[in-house]
Amino acid sequence: MAQTLSRGSVSGTAVKPGGGKRKPFLVDLYSTAVGKKYVMAITGLLLMGFVVAHMVGNLKLFQGETDGVYALDVYAVWLKELLYPAAPKSAVLWVMRSGLIVAVLLHIHAAYGLTVINRKARSVKYQSARDYDVANFASRTMRWTGVIVLLFILWHLADFTFGWVNPDFVYGEVHRSVVASFDRVPVAIFYIVANIALGIHLFHGLWSMFQSMGWNNPRFNSWRRPLATAIATVVVVGNVSFPIAVLAGIVTHPAV
Amino acid sequence: MTTTLKDLTLKIWRQKGPNDAGRFETYDIPEISDEASFLEMLDILNERLIESGLEAIVFDHDCREGICGTCSLMIDGHAHGPQRGTATCQLHMRQFTSGDTIVIEPFRATSFPIIKDLMVDRAAFDRIVEVGGFISAATGGAPDGNLIPVPKPVADASMDAAACIGCGACVAACPNGAASLFTGAKLAHLNLLPQGQAERFKRAEAMVDTMDEYFGSCTNHGECEAACPKSISIDVIALMNADYRKAKFKNRKALSRT
């Protein structure tokens, strides 16, 4: 029987390879598909931690103002001066930002690498219709929800960090910028859609993380799905509440 | 006993050889008994084809009792057909309704090249087993039973994984063409038992690295578990992922000592 496959060398034993340079350990690990999955899981966990903290912090939008000072603006300053004067102003913020940027880039790079591997693994597609038994909408749309979330992050930065696409951006007046941005219905809708995509991404991603990292134990297996559902729901409900509150007139700003 | 007879239409993938483009061909096949297995139905079709001077359809089959892992087929978009926990040979025509059109396609993956019609070469699985799907132990006379005590839950978990018949339905069903359920099952089978401990991490690294050369990666859809004729749980994939990570660190340490 014709075996038409070429067979590469098997490196998977604790035997010193004869000659040739060995790749550095982490590079070697990352070059494998399972290694890439670890990177997806760990960076995903970091990013999810950020998303949850970001949502919780932004709930300050609902505190409004006391004596003309907005709670969200005070929170923004606090973030900037985290651990000041122990650390210089903005230093901690930039450490966290760098971590997030690296995590996002690694998450995307690993996802791209895995997608290429997976495409190659079935070069000729099924010619008849597949009928999926258990693969859900979330698991099958990870790439799409991921792309939507990425585009949304870029828009989000342009809107609230750089102010490029914000109609009334004033540096330091976060509350005002938020109200100004969400007053535009199409923007609010885009924001809501993107956050639902984020929730779908988290719903599969968090559960998937447990499997990828091998965190599987009869003691907590039954909690993995509910945990993923709960965190995804909390993030979506929290984030979507901001544009809805602005559109409904619950959160306002006199200058807008 | 009355036997219900069914009239079916089959859309079957025909391919002359590995390099042929292949296409679906439609066959009307009247009067098929409810009690016929899916493979017996194909036998009947083949007999009728041969009688009318046509070439028989090539498909994989051997024990026909669900334990050898030779039969395959994507039936209506499901590996081993729509019935859960069932290999194609154990699927019976009573699962279908008269007048149905059944679409039959070979398992598809780059590492499962089509040999002819519905038959695919699953030798890539052998490559994975060759590098670690065994224990190296001097064999002599049969050891006494219970010489090595194994806790019941461990024995059960290992046995559940050992039920894998290596049919390749997990790869066929996986949207990514990944073989994680197969490799995970082979690893869980040996890595959970005391006899498997000596080579546990060597095995984990070797088998996963070999799997990597041929197959896609797991994105935790769970389709493999649903398609598996032995209903092996994706828990074995988590065990594989954990053991591979441990293996990478432990083997690196072991390497630095040599």
Here the tokens at position B126 are 């052998």
Task: Please give the pLDDT value at position A173.
Answer: 93
Interchain contact, B105 vs A128, CB within 8 Å: yes
Task: Please give the pLDDT value at position B2.
Answer: 64
Q: Name the stretches of chain A with pLDDT < 70.
A: 1-21
Enumerate residues 6+ apart whose C-beta is below 8 A from B54. none
Task: Please give the pLDDT value at position B1.
Answer: 54
Q: Which residues of B touch A9 (CB under 8 A)?
A: none
Q: Is A137 exposed, middle or buried (0-12, 13-18, 19+ CB in 10 A)?
A: exposed
Task: Please give the pLDDT value at position A21.
Answer: 67
pTM for the model stands at 0.91
Give how far A235 is from chain B: nearest CA, Å. 22
Give how far A12 is from chain B: nearest CA, Å. 4
Please report which confidence band the pLDDT of residue B147 belongs to, taking 50, 70 and 90 as the band edges: confident
- Where helices occur in chain A by DSSP H, the ranges are 25-30, 33-58, 71-80, 91-121, 137-140, 142-156, 174-182, 185-213, 221-247
Q: Which residues of B touch A120 (CB under 8 A)?
A: 110, 216
Give how far B141 is from chain A: nearest CA, Å. 30
Q: CATH 1.10.1060.10 region(s) of chain B?
A: 122-136+148-257
**pLDDT tens across B115-137, in order?**
999 999 999 999 999 999 999 98
The ipTM value here is 0.91
**Which has more confidence, B254 or A185?**
A185
Percent of chain B with pLDDT strictly greater than 90:
90
Q: Which residues of A touch B115 (CB under 8 A)?
A: 1-2
Q: What is the mean pLDDT of residues B200-221?
A: 96
Percent of chain B with pLDDT strictly greater than 70:
99
Nearest to B178 among A4, A121, A135 (CB): A121
Q: Which residues of B touch A8 (CB under 8 A)?
A: 213
Overall fold of domain B5-116: Ubiquitin-like (UB roll) (3.10.20)
Domain B122-136+148-257 has CATH 1.10.1060.10: yes
Q: Which residues pair with B103 in a beta bridge?
A: B11
8 Å CB contact between B232 and B190: no
Residue B175 has pLDDT above 90, yes or no: yes
Task: Please give the pLDDT value at position A118.
Answer: 96
CA distances to A14, A170, B188 from B180, in Å: 22, 52, 11
All structural domains of chain A:
33-123+135-247 (1.20.1300)
**pLDDT tens across A109-151, in order?**
999 999 999 999 999 999 999 989 999 999 999 999 999 999 9
Nearest to B110 among A121, A142, A208 (CB): A121
Task: Please give the pLDDT value at position A157.
Answer: 96
Per-residue burial over B77-108, b = 16 or more CB atoms within 10 Å of its CB, e = otherwise: bbbbbebeebbbbbbbbeebeeeeebbbbbbb
Nearest residue on chain A to B176, judged by CA atoms?
A: A118
CA distances to A57, A65, A168 from A180, in Å: 19, 16, 6
Report the distance separating Cα B205 and Cα B194, nearest Å: 18
Q: What is the mean pLDDT of residues B179-184?
A: 98
Interchain contact, A133 vs B226, CB within 8 Å: yes
> Mapping DSSP to helix (H, G, I), strand (E, B) and coil, where does residue B23 land?
strand
Q: Which residues of B touch A207 (CB under 8 A)?
A: 220
Interchain contact, B109 vs A122, CB within 8 Å: yes
Interchain contact, A134 vs B221, CB within 8 Å: yes
Q: Which residues pair with B178 in a beta bridge?
A: B216
